[in-house]
Amino acid sequence: MTKIQPVILAGGTGSRLWPLSRELYPKQLLRLTANTSLLQTTLQRVAKIPDVLPPVIVVGEGHRFITLAQVEDLGDVDSFSILLEPEGKNTAPAICGAAHFCKKTHGDVILLVLPADHVVMDEVGFVEAVGRATELAAKGAVVTFGIQPISPETGYGYIEQGEGVQVASFKEKPDAETARKYVEHGGYYWNSGMFAFSLPTALGEIEKYAPDIYRAMEKAVADGEYDGHFFRFEKEAMATCPSDSIDYALMEKTDKAAVVVADIGWSDIGSWKALWEVMEKDTDGNVTTGDVLLTETRNCFVKAESRLVATVGMEDTLVVETADAVIVSPLSRSQDVKKVVKKLKEQNREEYNVHLTVYRPWGSYTVLEEQSRFQIKKITVTPGAKLSLQKHHHRSEHWVVVRGTAEVTNGDEVLLLHENQSTYIPAGTMHRLGNPGVIELELIEVQNGSYLGEDDIVRFDDVYGRENDQV
């Protein structure tokens, strides 16, 4: 029996879920509907498919370490491959690159392409739908999963079913009246962005209809390199690759398109309203998480991350609070959160990019206070991890250990610091921080200097293989 190779696309940013989702901490890495992230839930879901191979995960360069950490946190994913995109080029190059990679490693398999940031409530139905899709894919079909619509949704593209399982056409996101006609007519399904095709079919059809993408990604894989847990597509080859979605590059052109209709409790969580729709509500229709106090409030989504959030007399409203940002909007207009993110980018504000807590391969840091010439951070280092050997040109640092044991390289000295002990590192001094203990190391870092940006760093040695310009 032909094996199924899951290809998990995990390169998006999910700007419509700002302020929780940020460019360096995107939607697929968030715990939105369960105690696991959307990526972790997707991996757990595909593990239940019979005859499934270890997953291939495609991510952006900037998300590689936190993706690796989340996969390893599951504990039950025995082996996996993480493919790194030097730059995002949409879904067609990502899928084509994964197909070329799988050709090198597995030969003839059925590729099951799944976005990492979707919700599927009916996992039994999902496995059954994958079984039907696999049978069609083994016969040479290019299979897309059509979701049975429950409402005239304008945020999704639609698939028009032809004779049998054939696809008659793909429809762009419609206006409200057109969406209503689709649902009333029947035979139209939401385009889920999930696909299944055999490896030879995938590569053959992409070479036929998108030859520039095929050739660029063939070279990006041929000239790519392994980097520890990762495989990195070759940067220059991928830079030449056109940017296009798999829908435009292949699905709308191929004559082999087939649709498997799936009623599996699916949502792409494309907005806060979409998340509100799939989450459990109280008797007044509210979804709340965190420290929330509601008075005379109905049909609202209220999320508190770092403090008490109280509402009075609210209806159909979105309120999301994080440590550094708050969004308030009619729930019906939650798709327009992306307009806020666009303005933040235009103003070069960090709130679109990172949270106050920033994750690194060795742990994390949280900005506690920031002024023009000083900054205070809480740094957490996981057991056995260490930062790069580095220096800064424009700032000095003062470290105070709050919890655990720190191994500190400070110039020519190597020190062991315990709770309430400290050290001072002048600007220009080579230094390193490590955690030799078995519990998390926590310390307070006070930075002083004329420039406090994260790019003021010169690395001399790094166990994670990062260059000076990499996080």
Per-residue pLDDT of 125-145, as tens digits, reads: 999 999 999 999 999 999 999
CA separation for the pair 50, 126 (Å, rounded): 12
Look over the chain and give the mean of its residue pLDDT values, rounded to a whole number. 91
Give residue 204's pLDDT: 96
Query: Mean pLDDT, to the nearest integer, of 402-407?
Result: 96
User: Does residue 12 register a pLDDT over 80?
Assistant: no
SS3 assignment, position 200: helix
Q: What's the farthest any 2 CA atoms get from each other in the chain?
A: 76
Residues in a beta bridge with 142: 257
Preceding amide of 19 cis, omega within 30: yes
Domain range summary for the chain, segments of one domain joined by +: 4-267, 280-340, 357-461
- Asked whether the domain spanning 357-461 has the same topology as the one spanning 4-267, the reply is no
Give residue 470's pLDDT: 60
**Amino acid occupying residue 5:** Q
CATH superfamily of 4-267: Spore Coat Polysaccharide Biosynthesis Protein SpsA; Chain A (3.90.550.10)
Give residue 78's pLDDT: 67
Cβ neighbours of 38 (radius 10 Å) = 25
User: Does residue 19 register a pLDDT over 80?
Assistant: yes
CA separation for the pair 156, 189 (Å, rounded): 9
Whether 344 contacts 35, CB under 8 Å = no
H or E, element range at 18: none
Residues with Cβ within 8 Å of residue 67, at least 6 apart in sequence: 10, 29, 39, 57, 59, 82
Write out pLDDT tens, residues 410-466.
999 999 999 999 999 999 999 999 999 999 999 999 999 999 888 889 999 988 877
SS3 assignment, position 146: strand
Write out pLDDT tens, residues 166-204.
988 888 888 889 999 998 888 889 999 999 999 999 999
CA separation for the pair 62, 78 (Å, rounded): 24
SS3 assignment, position 309: strand
Q: Angle at the Cα of 201 (from 196 to 205), degrees rounded to 5? A: 105
Give the model's confidence band at 378: pLDDT under 50 very low, under 70 low, under 90 confident, else very high.
very high
Please count the CA atoms within 13 angstroms of the CA of 34 that sit on its side-chain side: 15
pTM across the whole model: 0.84
Give residue 74's pLDDT: 84
Strands 81-85 and 56-60: parallel
First to last CA, the chain: 43
Write out pLDDT tens, residues 308-358.
999 999 999 999 999 999 999 999 999 899 999 999 999 999 898 888 888
**In terms of residues, how long is the chain?**
471
User: Does residue 260 register a pLDDT over 80?
Assistant: yes
Query: Mean pLDDT, to the nearest integer, of 385-406?
Result: 95
Give residue 468's pLDDT: 62
Per CATH, domain 357-461 is 3.40.50.300: no
CA separation for the pair 270, 282 (Å, rounded): 22
Give residue 325's pLDDT: 94
Give residue 257's pLDDT: 93
